[in-house]
Amino acid sequence: MDYFKKSLELHKKKKGKLEIKSKIPLNNKTDLAIVYTPGVAKPCQEIAKNPDNAYEYTIKGNSVAVVTNGTAVLGLGNIGAQAALPVMEGKCLLFKKFANIDAYPICLDTEDNQKIIETVKIIAPGFGGINLEDIKAPDCFDIEKQLTKELDIPVFHDDQHGTAIVVLAALINALKIVKKRVDKIKIIINGSGAAGIATAKILLDYGVKDITLVDSRGAICHNCPELTKPKKEIAKLTNLGKVEGQLKDVIIQSDVFIGLSVPNILKKELVKTMAPLPIIFALANPIPEIMPKQAKQAGAAIIATGRSDFPNQINNVLAFPGIFRGLLDNRAKKATREMKLAAAKTLASLVKNPVPNKIIPSVFEKNIAQKIALSISKCIN
């Protein structure tokens, strides 16, 4: 099927994907007096007395703003706020479908970090959580950090943490299959953007010791010139051997390749230089760093991609709906590292008997979000 053509047709026919519905009947003057004036004054007054009452009487507690400025949309790059709207609407549908969360797209017409932070703070009263989406690195790091510090509702940049959580979940199961210990493995992360850096961080939190990130100029290390601040920080915690060089130089004898980069960059010859039973997560979309067939021919023991037409799809939708469900259910003020680890472990545990072609649940399996939400709740209560 030509998904592009079909998608364009459907978007045109329906004029977008979301609509607003009433949860309360409004058919006569009595209804009107209850949902609007004069009756509505009462919940307003209760919230004015105590702001926490917004969770009792309004949509706040089940509402998430899906916030973007359109600077890093899918593989399309910086297409701007307006053009990002179809993706944000899609994201909102996923929130609803998988976690019954009412998410609304907020597309910001600015590339100024301070304005983004200020805007999100100003619109925050109506929301129970903020999902940052498709904001380019390194801006996304600072924006998330500042907002997390200043807001009393959770802020979660899905391109970072959603990806990181699902990658860790898949890796937990992959390591069981190849019988390797997390603290003994060597991991290469190719791609040092938002997802690459967040993945490195969660892997370190989980107990991985030896990680090397690679960007388009090669392995990143503490002494590399002209690194952005987030890269400099992660460089201090990774690349223990202080190696320099390109992917082909650093991939030798590694156990795991995680690609969050560009199509076709991982050649069969490189896979052959890895340690025995190599694990390949080739997550560039829609064309992975190496096609599964080639990876297998080169000796890969386990292969995952971002695509739905191959086994082991690493898809953020496995994580973010459940995480926000858990955050909202507990009126959490932050999404913590502990919660992210708990979500990854729970997601891994949902595959009862991991085998090479099944290291991660499929998107439409039942109750994934509910189980992740429960793991978030356990971190709080």
Q: Which residues in the 72-131 window bind its own copies by CB under 8 A?
A: 73-76, 79-94, 96-97, 102-110, 115, 118-119, 121-126
- Of 80 and 138, nearer to its own copies (C-beta) is 80
Stretch that binds its own copies, among 23-31, 223-231, 241-249, 289-297 (CB under 8 A): 23-31
The set of catalytic residues is 36, 91
Total number of residues that touch its own copies (CB under 8 A): 99
**12: contact with its own copies by CB under 8 A:** yes
C-alpha distances (whole Å) from 191 to each of 57, 200, 275, 320, 364 are 45, 11, 21, 22, 28
- Of 56 and 338, nearer to its own copies (C-beta) is 56
The whole-angstrom separation of Cα 40 and Cα 46 is: 10
**226: contact with its own copies by CB under 8 A:** no
The whole-angstrom separation of Cα 105 and Cα 189 is: 31
Tell me the closest approach of the beta carbon of residue 68 to its own copies, in angstroms. Answer: 10
Tell me the closest approach of the beta carbon of residue 155 to its own copies, in angstroms. Answer: 15
Q: How many residues does the chain have?
A: 381
- Of 109 and 338, nearer to its own copies (C-beta) is 109
**262: contact with its own copies by CB under 8 A:** no
Show the 3-state SS of 172-233.
HHHHHHHCCCCCCCEEEEECCCHHHHHHHHHHHHHCCCEEEEEECCEECCCCCCCCCHHHHH
90: exposed, middle or buried (Cβ count in 10 Å: 0-12, 13-18, 19+): middle
What track of x and - describes contact with its own copies for positions 28 through 57 (by CB under 8 A)? xxx-xxxxxxxxxxxxxxxxx--x--xxxx
- Of 35 and 252, nearer to its own copies (C-beta) is 35
Stretch 354-373 residues interacting with its own copies (CB under 8 A)? 363-364
158 and 133 Cβ atoms separated by less than 8 Å: yes
Nearest to 164 by CA among 130, 187, 139, 148: 187
Tell me the closest approach of the beta carbon of residue 86 to its own copies, in angstroms. Answer: 4
360 and 347 Cβ atoms separated by less than 8 Å: yes
Stretch 263-322 residues interacting with its own copies (CB under 8 A)? 285-286, 308, 317
